[in-house]
A and B are shown apart, each in its own frame.
Chain A
Amino acid sequence: MLEINNLHKSFGSKEVLKGINLKVNKGDIIGIIGPSGCGKSTLLRCINLLELPSEGNIIFDGNDIIHEKDKLAVRKNIGMVFQQFNLFNHLTVIDNIVLAPVMNKLMIKKEAEEKAIQLLKDINLEDVINNYPNQISGGQKQRVAIVRALMMNPKIMLFDEPTSALDPEMIGEVTNLMKKLVKDGMTMLIVSHELNFIKNFCNRVIFMDDGIIVEEGSSKEIFNNPKDERLKSFLDKINNK
């Protein structure tokens, strides 16, 4: 459903992505790992056009989205979850969730609220429906952010370090929600430093370094049988920490 061909991205004179090729099939759970600054977050941000690629193309559902005029329509199909949650601080949980679908006329307000309440109930968040973001925990915030993205019925979800800003005891509640999405057949791209989580959760893993994909394979291949030296040393460093 998603095909990335020879994707380049530069910020000024600094080239962050140096030719990425990647094919994502429906239902894929792809983990993207690699050292800081390797370009993994930039790759995600290019996919939903928060950054405009310098070169190459991204084919999503048969359309070249980089040259698509209506970026908004593209983004509606691609959900994004941020490290810092980015909940709208001035809105309650429920208003955070219903804002976009109502503004985009996907649903009327009542309909959106009913759906949101149902989704929040499913993950035991009905008590915080009318709370503001600064009144709930990090784990709750991230789950609300995921629900917020789901309201748009995206075809693919991008997770940019979804658990990095969380206290350890809250990581579980977020990953549990992500597991639920897998069951529903959601396609996901996950950038994370939680190698154990990636190892157990993803069916494909990509290792990036210095703007290119160095190694790609099943979770087992990457973690149990790494071939490239850079991947080996990366895994060693993390495991010895």
Chain B
Amino acid sequence: MKKLLLLLCAIFLLTGCGKEKNKLILSTEAGFAPYEYYSNGQIVGVDIDIAKKIAEYLDMDLVIKDVAFDSIISEVKTGKSDIGAAGISYTEEREKEVDFTIDYAESKQVIIVNKNSGFYTMNDLANQKIAVQLGSVADDYLTTNYENISIIREKKFLAAIQDLKDNKVAAVVMDELPATKLIDDTMFILRDPLFTDSYGMIIRKGNSELLAAANIVIKKLKDSGEINNYILYHLGIDEGQNEKSGIIGRIYNSIIYDGRYKFILEGLKNTLFIALGAVLIGIFLGIIAAISNNIYLNTGKFKLLNLLSKAYVTIIRGTPSTLQLMIIYYVIFKQTNINIVLVGIIAFGINSGAYVAEIIRAGLNSVDKGQWEAGYSLGLNYSQVIRKIIMPQSIKNILPALGNEFVTLVKETSIGAYIGIIELTKASDIIASRTYDYFLPLILIALIYLIITLFLSKLINMLEVRLNNVRN
């Protein structure tokens, strides 16, 4: 137990450093070329180039965080990030939450339809389904202005395009530049854009110093035509991401080209690290909760701790883990600039602890009552009985269930992407956002999950066999 605590302290010290003064933290969702996207393992794009100039102007180091698009405003509002940029359009709603810089790019929101669909104007699309990216300006605009269409809100605009391909929707509304990249020869963009709007960067209300600096830099870049250069440059870079075709080509594009396997490795590392850290925290919390319950039932002591444990188990088991993760990140660690992998370890650890508590409780209950009575009748006290008699016998019931919990945890880590952790699932997302090919990276990470969980199951099996051998 002491070793565990030491390890946790070490993790805190290594990763949980305080907010650093000379860093400018930018939140974005890197899957929106040419504004922000991954290239050679790095997040690059027009927004990033501008943000770099702002950081340079302020003599700060730019740190880029890749989070979900609908989390960017929370990031900036809570001060977790200083600035947000992800092709964010001005809306009144958003202006209530955060300050916008002057606009740096104009965006045409276009309508994409399937060829031969017979849709040529927005009017043709009345009473149809239209897909948009959740929380995007297109989402906002359609919601406000078109009551007669049903809006399908996808997390990613890639998924929106896929919906169109699958004929699940009649059209997709999105920004023109990425749209030209995304469509294939079965689709086309309607001539008239639905509307035009401008992108700005967002900054926390009241941070007027940063706002002023950003405005100065953006104005300079706009006036000198530099931003147009950025756009042209990144449109050029964005060409040829899928340079090979055929199934071998697709595998090459998804894994090898542009060093994309690095995302998989990074994702694998984080997935394993989070699962391992979380399982340690989970076992620690689970033991405390289960034992306090057992002590209370057997001796009547620790009433308060037992109540707390019960509340903990009930709340955690009764709420979605995604929600818990978001609450821990955006509410509890609101003001601290804590390493997100560490947040993941803590959140998944707290989540797992509730399940571990139930596993241990059931394991302790599985030991025959006669064992307790024999222990007590020999003059042993509660702690001696549970340590020397009950615990050792319940281990073989607890271990397989605990193994299952670990396996579940490995898979659960995939929701870490919500707060921007690059774990395996996020890694496949990133790759798909470059190759526009969801299938291969998804199959690849599914295989990796399978290998990990098979390996774990095997390990647990071996442990069980060993325990049984010791006994017989």
- CB within 8 Å of B: which residues of A? 48, 50, 72-73, 75-76, 78-80, 82, 84, 86-90, 99-100, 103-104, 132, 134-135, 145, 148-149, 152
Contacts and interface: CB of A to CB of B under 8 A. Distances in A.
Nearest to A77: B379
Contacts of B377: 48, 50, 75, 78-80, 149
Contacts of A84: 370
Interface in B374-393: 374-381, 384, 388-389, 392-393
Given A88-B389, A90-B471, A132-B471, A100 B379 contact: yes
B371 interface: yes
Contacts of B471: 89-90, 132
16 contacts: A50-B373, A50-B376, A50-B377, A78-B377, A82-B370, A84-B370, A88-B371, A88-B375, A88-B393, A90-B471, A99-B378, A99-B380, A100-B378, A103-B380, A104-B379, A149-B378
Contact of B393 (A89, A104, A134): A89
Nearest to B381: A72
A72 B373 contact: no
Contacts of B371: 86, 88-89
A204 to B, nearest CB: 23
Contacts of B375: 88, 100
Contacts of B393: 88-90
A72 B374 contact: no
A82 B373 contact: yes
Interface of B: 368, 370-371, 373-381, 384, 388-389, 392-393, 471-472
| Chain A interface mostly | mixed
A216 to B, nearest CB: 26
Nearest to A49: B376
Secondary structure type dominating chain B contacts: helix
Given A99-B378, A100-B378, A134-B472, 17 more contacts: A72-B379, A73-B379, A75-B376, A78-B377, A79-B377, A86-B368, A86-B370, A88-B389, A89-B371, A89-B471, A99-B388, A103-B380, A104-B378, A104-B379, A104-B380, A132-B471, A152-B378
A86 B380 contact: no
Contacts of A149: 377-378
A90 B374 CA distance: 14
A82 B370 CA distance: 8
B116 to A, nearest CB: 73
Contacts of B374: 80, 82, 86-88, 145
Contacts of B388: 99, 103
B392 A152 contact: no
Nearest to A72: B379
B376 A86 contact: no
Nearest to A75: B379
Contacts of A86: 368, 370-371, 373-374
A90 B392 contact: yes
B169 to A, nearest CB: 62
A76 B379 contact: yes
A11 to B, nearest CB: 15
Nearest to A95: B388
A99 B472 CA distance: 20
